[in-house]
Every structure is written in C-alpha cells, then in structure tokens.
Amino acid sequence: MLNINCPFCGARNESEFIHGGALKPRRSETPQELDDDAWIDYLTVPPNPIGPLEERWWHVRGCGKWFTLCRDTLTHQILQPGDDQA
C-alpha cells in the first residue's frame, strides 16, 4: 500500500484515494496546426514513462479535494518537491 500525503489532511492510506491518471501536457495554443495523428495522440495516449510522473489524485474518503503529486512509476516512491528526479 502507498502512504499518500494529502496536502490538506496529511498522510493517509491509499485506500482513501482515487487515482485520476497522469497529468496531461497543456493543450496546444494553436490546435488548428496539429495534424489528425497528433490530435488523436493528445486526446487518447496517456504519458507512461519509467520514472517520475506527475499524477492527479482525489481524496474521495477524506477532504474530497483533487491534488497533484509526483510518483516514481518504477518504485512507486512518492517524490517530494525538490527531490532529485534524475
């Protein structure tokens, strides 16, 4: 089990949370310049790196708020801001 530190409630067991997926890159400022393949990739292909990944989490059985955290997808270690992510 992961121990997730909610920025509003403190450390809690992962059973209190729902994973909202990887934080997607911002949409292009000029989407009309994207070809169909690039647009489909943006809409349907989630980031899936090995290593640090920013994710959205919902504290559904707690404060009910959404927040972003950085988790290493290889070790599942939750990284704090300023941790060496290299």
User: Residue 15 is which amino acid?
Assistant: S
The string of pLDDT tens digits covering residues 13-32 is 999 999 999 988 888 888 88
Q: Calculate mean pLDDT across residues 23-48.
A: 87
Domain layout of the chain by residue ranges: 3-79
CATH superfamily of 3-79: Folate-binding superfamily (3.30.2270.10)
Euclidean distance between CA atoms 72 and 76, whole angstroms = 5
The string of pLDDT tens digits covering residues 50-74 is 999 999 999 999 999 999 999 999 9
CB 11 within 8 A of CB 34: no
Which runs of consecutive H residues, i.e. helices, occur in 4-66? 36-44
The pLDDT confidence band at residue 84, using thresholds 50, 70 and 90, is very low
Supply the pLDDT for residue 82: 43
The DSSP call for residue 14 is G
